Amino acid sequence: MAKQLATLYRTAFVTGASTGLGRAFADMLLAEGVRVWGTARAAERLAPLVGERFTPVVLDLKDREGALAAFRAAERAAEGFDLVINNAGYGAFAEFTAVDFGVWEEQLRVMLVNTAALAHAALPPMIARGRGALVNISSLAAEFPLPFQSAYNIAKAGLSALNESLMLELAPTGVVVLDVRPGDYRTDFEGSVRRPQSEFTPRMERAWRAFEALMSSGPGPAHAAASLRRALWRRRSGTVRTGRFSQAVLAPFLARFGSLALKRRLQARYFNVR
């Protein structure tokens, strides 16, 4: 019988566990025998997961102090987390200058600042024990920004920069840091994207249609969970690009050896915003 991840990670904390990639991560960990504390903004959204090894946690990243209090209470109940996955987040689609800056500021606070605060709270006990893993779910948008989703791009690029910093800082401690960068997955993420701009320009309409088509045709979220599982078994810090071959392998390869100007032209064509 194959070994389960529970031999390495007894307990896990997963934000945004009710849908999409977060749900897939939680399902994978539960199947691997890990005890999971999973979060959502409303407890009823977690009802399908509740069982012997799953504990629901109500957590809203808009409220940093409340989120930290919920995390610490869960950590005490778990007697420490071996694995923390910061996955929760959302999209906002609009021209940068067409909506109040508060729209972008809130997204950056939720997805970058408050997510970093959770990482800040999670790491000291792991460092003290000399083991554990922090997984911050970034995005390939950190390398290939999505048009009209500027704060999302900034937040994901910032998370990747945080991950790179932590990999250097924590190298001697035994704590693993994974920078997971998913591409487009079939999760209905596009259905939850906020669209605060009252009217779309023709370029925005084309970009939105391309975005919807890419998301709806992507791999299922179990594919990302399998990528994460493999990375966790390796027990090494690093970057995990995951998604369809053209996004996770081919595009980074071309970007590495091509020019920035070429990368921008290809992205403009990809989203039909030339």
Residue of 61, 165, 58 lying closest to 108 (CA atoms): 61
User: Residue 243's pLDDT is what?
Assistant: 97
In whole angstroms, give the CA distance from residue 252 to residue 264: 13
Q: Which helix (H) or strand (E) holds 57?
A: strand 54-58
Segment 202-226 shows an average pLDDT of: 96
Of the two residues 32 and 262, the one the predictor is more confident about is: 32
Candidates 135, 184, 141, 142; CA nearest to 161 is 142
For residue 81, the Cα-to-chain-centroid distance in whole angstroms is 18
Q: What percent of the chain has pLDDT over 90?
A: 88
Indicate the pLDDT class of residue 2, thresholds 50, 70 and 90: low
- The active-site residue out of 9, 90, 152, 270 is 152
Q: How confident is the model at residue 218 (pLDDT cuts 50, 70, 90)?
A: very high
Res. 1: pLDDT tops 60: no
Beta strands in 93-171 (DSSP E): 133-137
Using CB atoms within 10 A of its CB, is residue 47 exposed (0-12), middle (13-18) or buried (19+)? exposed
9 is known as an active-site residue: no
156's enclosing H/E stretch is: helix 150-169
Multiple choice CATH, 5-244, 1.20.1530.20, 3.40.50.150, 3.40.50.720, 3.50.50.60: 3.40.50.720
As a whole number, mean pLDDT of residues 199-214 equals 95
pLDDT, tens only, 138-156: 999 999 999 999 999 999 9
Average pLDDT over residues 242-246: 95
d(CA 66, CA 46): 18
189 with 212: CB under 8 angstroms? no
Confidence band for 262, pLDDT divided at 50, 70 and 90: confident
pLDDT at 92 over 60: yes
CB 141 within 8 A of CB 265: no
pLDDT tens digits along 19-55: 999 999 999 999 999 999 999 999 999 999 999 999 9
The full length of the chain comes to 274
